[in-house]
Amino acid sequence: MRRRALRHSRLSPWLLAGGAALLVALAVAHAAFAVPARASLAQQQLAHIQLPPGFRINLFAEGLGYARFATVSPQGHLVVTSSSRTLAGQGCSGADCVPNDGRVFILPDRDGDGVADEVIVFADGLDRPQGLAYYRGDLYVAEYGRVVRLPDRDGDLRADAVEVVIDNLPTKPTSPTGHWQRNIAFGPDDTLYVSVGSSCNVCIEEDPRHATILRYNADGSGERIFARGIRNPVGIAIHPVTGELWATNNGRDLLGDDFPPEFVAVVREGDHFGWPFCHVGVPDPEFGHLGDCTQTRAPTAFLPAHSAPLGLAFYTGQQFPAEYRGDLFVALHGSWNRSQPQGYSLVRFPMRDGVPGPMQTFAAGWLTPETGCANSPADLARGVPICRAEVWGRPVAPAVGADGALYLTDDRLGAVYRIAYVGTP
C-alpha cells in the first residue's frame, strides 16, 4: 500500500450570510471555520420545502462547495465529501466545469441543537471525492481514479495521511470525462464494492470496467467485475438486515421525456442490467443488436425518467415514527434532458419484508411551478426540447445521523439539511 503526505492548500474566501464579507485566510487545510449565520438565503429557501405532517427541515451546514455524499463517523459526527470548492452552475455536472479541489468535511454538533457547530476540513487536495465509508475505524473515500484511506489515529478530526488502497479505477483521459462519480460500500463479508459509471451516454466502452460495480478485498486486492450493464450507479448501499447490495441507476439520455425510467436495484454477482444494448427490457435504437434483453436483470423499483437518482439510505434510526423504520430513501438530483423538468426531491419507498412498496414523495420544493429554464446554446443543437431547470437547490444523498435524523446534501446550494420528526401540532 502506497502512502503520500496529505496535501495542504489555502481555503478560498467566503462570505458570511447577511451580506458582511469576511476573508478567511487559513494557512493550511487542517482548519475549521464557523458555520454561517442562520439568516442566510439558504435558510430562507427552506420555506419552499414540503414534508409530511410532523416533520421539520433546517439548515445543518452550508459553505461546503460542491457537497456530495455523507456518512457518520464512529464518534457520531456527520462527514461529507465535496468534489470542488466551487458550486456547479447550470449545465455543470461537477467534473470538468469546476476546479478539481475536493475536500472532506467533518460537521460536529456537540450541543445537539441540530446545527453544526463548525465545519472542519478533515482532508484536502482530493480528486473529485464522492463516496465514503468507514471500515475498522478508518475513513475510506472514492476519488475519480482511486480509493484512498484517511486514518485519524490521534483522533484530532484531521486526516494523518492519504493511503492509496486502489489506484487504477477506470478514468477517461479526455474531456468530457463522462460519469466521474465513484462510490464505495463495504459488505458484511469484508469486501469492498466500487461503483463506476459509463464514460459516455451510450457507446461500446474500451475499458470493460465502465458501467459496472467492481468488487475487491478490503485491502484493494482481488479486483473483479461484480455486475455489468448498469450505466451510472451513482449511489450504492448495503441493506442493514439482508446484507444485500443496492444501487441507484441513471439511464440513457435523449430517448424522450419518459424513457427509460430510472431505477434502484438489488445487485447480485453476475447480474447484467443491459446497458448499452438494452434499457429495462427495451432494445437500444443504436446498440440493440449487441445483446438479448431477455437475459438482463430487471430492476427492483422504478423512478421517474431522467430524475437522476443519486444517493440512497435505509432508515435505521429511532427518531422517525415506527412506520418509517427500514424504509428506503432516495435523492433525486433532477432532470436536465426533459422538456418538463422533474425530480429535485427526496422520495421514500416503504419496505416490507425487504420489498419496496410504491414510491412516495417525502420532501419536495426545490423545483417550483415558477422555475424557469437556463439552457445553454449547445442545447439547441441536440435536436430535442430540453429544460435545464433553474432551481435553487439539488438534493444529492441522504444519510441517517447518529441522532436518528435524516441528513441530506445539496450540491447546488453547498449545504446539508437536517430532517427530524417533531410531532403533529
d(CA 421, CA 55): 4
Backbone angles phi, psi at 45, to 5 degrees: -65, -20
The pTM assigned to this predicted structure is 0.90
pLDDT for the residue 93 = 63
Report residue 385's pLDDT band, with 50, 70 and 90 as the boundaries.
confident
pLDDT for the residue 172 = 85
pLDDT per residue over 138-173, tens digit each?
A: 999 999 999 999 999 999 999 999 999 999 999 987
pLDDT for the residue 300 = 98
d(CA 24, CA 50): 35
Query: For the residues 268-277, what does the mean pLDDT come to?
Result: 98
pLDDT for the residue 23 = 27
pLDDT per residue over 92-124, tens digit each?
A: 666 666 778 899 999 999 999 999 999 999 999
Report residue 33's pLDDT band, with 50, 70 and 90 as the boundaries.
low
Nearest to 103 by CA among 88, 77, 121: 121
Which of left, alpha, beta for 130 (phi over 0: left; psi -120 to 50: alpha)?
alpha
Query: For the residues 248-275, what does the mean pLDDT come to?
Result: 97
Whose cell is 424522450? That residue is 256
Give the residue, 282 or 375, on which the prediction is more confident. 282
Which amino acid, one-letter code, is at 252? Answer: R
Which of left, alpha, beta for 287 (phi over 0: left; psi -120 to 50: alpha)?
alpha
Report residue 175's pLDDT band, with 50, 70 and 90 as the boundaries.
low
How many percent of the chain have pLDDT more than 70?
Answer: 87
Whose cell is 423538468? That residue is 341
Decide if pLDDT at 25 tops 50. no
Query: For the residues 36-48, what does the mean pLDDT come to?
Result: 71
d(CA 98, CA 133): 25
- Per-residue cell: 7: 496535501
Query: For the residues 192-220, what does the mean pLDDT come to?
Result: 97
d(CA 17, CA 38): 7
Which domains are assigned to the chain? 2-421 (2.120.10.30)
Backbone angles phi, psi at 293, to 5 degrees: -60, -25
